[in-house]
Amino acid sequence: MDISLVLIGLLGGLVTGISPCILPVLPVIFLSGGAQSARGDGGSASPSRWRPFLVIAGLVLSFTLVTLLGSVLLSLLGLPQDVLRWAGIIVLAVIGVGLIVPGVQHLLEKPFSRIPQKAVGVERNGFVLGFALGAVYVPCAGPVLAAITVAGATGRVGIDTVVLTVSFALGAAAPLLVFALAGRAVAERVKSFRRRQRGIRIAGGVAMLALAVGLVFDVPAALQRLVPDYTSTLQEQLAESDQVRDALDLGGLVNEQNKDLDKCSNGATELESCGTAPDIRGIDTWLNTPGGSGIDLAELRGQVVLVDFWAYSCINCQRSLPHVVAWDEAYRDLGLQVVGIHSPEYAFEKGTRNVAQGAAKFGIEYPVGLDNSLSTWTNYRNRYWPAHYLIDAEGVVRHVKFGEGGYATTEKLIRELLTDADPDVQLPEATDVADDTPEVGATTPESYLGLGKEVNFGGAEEYRSGTSSYRFPDDLARDTFALDGAWTLDFQGATPSGRDASIRLAFTATQEVRVVAGGTGTIRVRVDGSDAGSIEVAGAPDSSQILAVDGPTVGEIELTVPRGVTVYSFTFG
């Protein structure tokens, strides 16, 4: 683990801890976390001097557990992400009432009656308060935490993810601890505060209730919209760092099988030696094998093997697959075995029927394993769609290529390994498949509509879970999209609610614009204000071409989407 990962987490948390969305929490921290621990002018109560630290410790622990385990649990149960938010609001309100009404506090503490009061006391200790507050604090986060949540939801919680989450929580809690200690200092220095400990307790409860009500009406979001660029730039920079991507894309899960893969440089022009190929493991179903039998790399010794990680709705994979299929057809009988590992980006990509249809669509006849649990992805420490791992006849990884492009080099190395395995082999001419890889920066980045990976939203509203109304902005920024009408957003995509709704996309493309959509209905298309036909959507989500262009093109597309159709992403070539 790189120490820079910890620093990124701390910095990301610090930025979140001073962002506008945390403002509603500050009165609770000031009064219940800090002022309530001040020493009064008398009375029997002896407030804990550790209370501010215990409140923050509870918040950090709760924040970490809810973020990691909560995401996994919601993913397993298929529950919306709002469940955590509403549970936190309810708990916060109940504890707030407990601070105001002693009888309610006693009821809350009754289940813990056999534990010493100092271990659970809401008034004196503060750990329970912090633990409850942490659940509410989870939605107040930027892209770093969003990435952590995605990792948890897809089962990618490794040591780096945990370290990043804990460091993020500590960074976010640091400004709150400072504020809590400031609250105690003020309470001890101002005489009226010292004489009114009971009043401070009640005020803290009122602040909690006010926070709960504010969360119901999205006050943090409203405050954040008042200063929209307050922390977003730095948050985005952190989210895009290589260290964070490596950790959250399962790049940090090193084991005895994959520890030497780092010896391969991405897209090297010459063969390298990167250790014995890791096993293919955890495959749900095999396609294109006799009787659905599995593939064991150890049984393929003597053959050159190309392991291709892909997902059927991934536009990058779709541009790569014609090359892989061509290599399979050209060299299958000469010692090359291609093995496709289908590792899903979306939940719908886990369906066997959907993958089988995708494989047939692209002419794939080689074996394809459904890696729905990302077990093989993890074992290869993979991070990209597509990704090619070229293995020689002795079972050693000799070349790795992440992403699109470099096809001529990969084929050259395939031919070298085939000749090494059989010096008498008669190879045909190299395949002739056009490389349609877009120039870096020449097109709009892939745009996701699901909350788990939302990218490039250019509307004025908050992009949030559940059903909300949206309006197109007067001026849509280049390479962004916006919504109009009532939409229901979830972790995977966006669905019109009640009636037809629209998406506007300001795009840059060199070859085409595509949309991944599923359900049943007809999407109407307008390009630069003119009618451009329609797209029929029927059945499992798939990628459809919206527009073909010849050379660099900028423009604006508007899609009218009917109820019953879910839109997942836009891709650009």
Q: Are 554 and 526 in contact (CB under 8 A)?
A: no
pTM surpassing 0.85? no
Q: Which backbone phi and psi does 305 adopt, to 5 degrees?
A: -120, 135
Parts of the chain with a pLDDT under 70: 1-2, 4-5, 19-21, 23-24, 32-49, 67, 70-85, 88, 102-126, 128-129, 132, 135-158, 160, 187-198, 200-201, 215, 218-253, 346-348, 436-441, 452-455, 491, 540, 573
Q: Are 379 and 257 in contact (CB under 8 A)?
A: yes
What local confidence, expressed as pLDDT, does residue 499 receive?
81
Distance CA 144, CA 142 (A): 6
DSSP per-residue codes, 218-253: THHHHHHHHSTTSSHHHHHHHHT-HHHHHHHTTTT-
Distance CA 24, CA 213 (A): 10
User: Quick one: which of 307, 301, 359, 366 has its CA closest to 333?
Assistant: 366
What local confidence, expressed as pLDDT, does residue 63 receive?
74
Measure Cα distances from 117 to 91, 96, 107, 114, 127 in Å. Answer: 20, 19, 13, 8, 12
Measure Cα distances from 10 to 134, 270, 468, 515 in Å. Answer: 17, 40, 33, 37
What local confidence, expressed as pLDDT, does residue 201 receive?
67
Distance CA 343, CA 378 (A): 10
- What would the pLDDT profile of 122-169 be if each residue is shown by its tens digit? 444 567 667 767 766 644 444 455 445 445 544 556 676 777 778 888
Beta-carbon contacts of residue 115 (< 8 Å; ≥ 6 apart): none
Q: Are 563 and 499 in contact (CB under 8 A)?
A: yes
User: 571: helix, coil or strand?
Assistant: strand
Distance CA 67, CA 64 (A): 5
**527 C-beta neighbours (distance < 10 Å), count:** 18
Beta-carbon contacts of residue 395 (< 8 Å; ≥ 6 apart): 276, 277, 297, 298, 300, 301
What local confidence, expressed as pLDDT, does residue 301 receive?
92
